[in-house]
């Protein structure tokens, strides 16, 4: 009997495949892209074996394409992720992502006294890369938030 790998590698006709996401950040990526609230067909695979990567996650979203600005935000947790654009079951484009300079409306500020946590304000951060660690500097309260504290907006 052949092992049933089809569920995982099941191809999508049109859409976006996000591959090589570290398993531990898979659901952060789901949050950052706010996938929980879309009605598109989504397949999420976690703890898959990757030759070069150890354990990886993969997300396939049917009939959805992302702006660079949206997709770049996943570089905050998954800088090595690959983005495959699928049309008619074919990868027509492989996109690289890069750490964005500004992160708008995808994270909450970790400072409980920040105005953005008390009024309806879209958050804005500058990204700071220091010794391979990425921090977010809040445009409002001027405090830094660690990437691990990234949480989706409500």
Partner 1 sequence: MPKSLISIHDFSKEEILHILDIASEMEKNKSQKILDGKVVACLFFEPSTRTRLSFETAANRLGARVIGFSDVGNTSISKGESFKDTIKMVSNYVDMIIMRHPLEGAARYATEVCDLPIVNAGDGANQHPSQTLLDLYTIRQTQGSLQNMTINMVGDLKYGRTVHSLLQAMSHFEPKFIFTAPYELQLPSEYQTFLTEKGIEYTETQSLTEYLDVCDILYMTRVQQERFNDPMEYEKVKDVYRLNAKMLTNVRKNMKILHPLPRINEIALDVDDTPYAYYFKQAENGMYVRMAIIAYLLGYN
Which stretches of the chain bind partner 1, using CB under 8 A? 111, 113-116, 118-121, 138-144
Q: Kindly tell me which of 111 and 149 has the beta carbon lying closer to Zn ion.
A: 111
Write the burial class of residue 129 (CB in 10 Å: 0-12 exposed, 13-18 middle, 19+ buried): exposed
Residue 74's binding partner out of partner 1, Zn ion, none, with CB under 5 to 8 Å set by partner kind = none
Across-strand partners of 59? Answer: 18, 44
Are 94 and 16 in contact, with CB atoms under 8 Å apart?
no
Q: Kindly tell me which of 6 and 131 has the beta carbon lying closer to partner 1.
A: 131
Within residues 79-118, the interface with Zn ion by CB under 5 A covers 109, 111, 114
Q: Kindly tell me which of 74 and 109 has the beta carbon lying closer to Zn ion.
A: 109
User: Pairing state of beta strands 82-87 and 54-62?
Assistant: unpaired
Residue with tokens 């445009």: 139
Residue 86's binding partner out of partner 1, Zn ion, none, with CB under 5 to 8 Å set by partner kind = none
> Rule CB under 5 A: is residue 149 a binding residue for Zn ion?
no
Helix H or strand E segment including 146: strand 144-146
Q: Kindly tell me which of 107 and 138 has the beta carbon lying closer to partner 1.
A: 138
Least distance from partner 1 to the Cβ atom of residue 117, Å: 8
Gap between the Cα atoms of 8 and 11, Å rounded: 9
- Complete DSSP assignment for 29-63: HHHHTTGGG--S-EEEEEEEEETTTEEEEEEEEET
Stretch that binds Zn ion, among 4-12, 46-54, 71-79, 141-149 (CB under 5 A): 141-149
Q: Kindly tell me which of 64 and 143 has the beta carbon lying closer to partner 1.
A: 143
Residues making contact with Zn ion (CB under 5 A):
109, 111, 114, 138, 140-141
């Amino acid at each position: 009997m052949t092992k049933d790998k089809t569920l995982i590698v099941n191809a999508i006709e049109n859409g976006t495949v996000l591959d090589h996401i570290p398993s531990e950040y898979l659901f952060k990526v789901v949050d950052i892209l706010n996938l929980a609230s879309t009605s598109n067909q989504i397949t999420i695979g976690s703890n898959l074996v990757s030759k070069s990567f150890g354990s990886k996650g993969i997300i396939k979203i049917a009939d959805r394409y992302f702006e660079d600005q949206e997709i770049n935000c996943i570089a905050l947790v998954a800088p090595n992720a690959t983005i495959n654009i699928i049309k008619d079951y074919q990868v027509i484009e492989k996109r690289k992502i890069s750490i964005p300079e500004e992160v708008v409306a995808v994270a909450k500020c970790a400072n409980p006294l920040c105005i953005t946590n008390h009024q309806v304000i879209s958050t804005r951060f500058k990204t700071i890369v220091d010794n391979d660690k990425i921090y977010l500097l809040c445009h409002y309260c001027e405090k830094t938030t660690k990437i691990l504290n990234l949480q989706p907006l409500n």
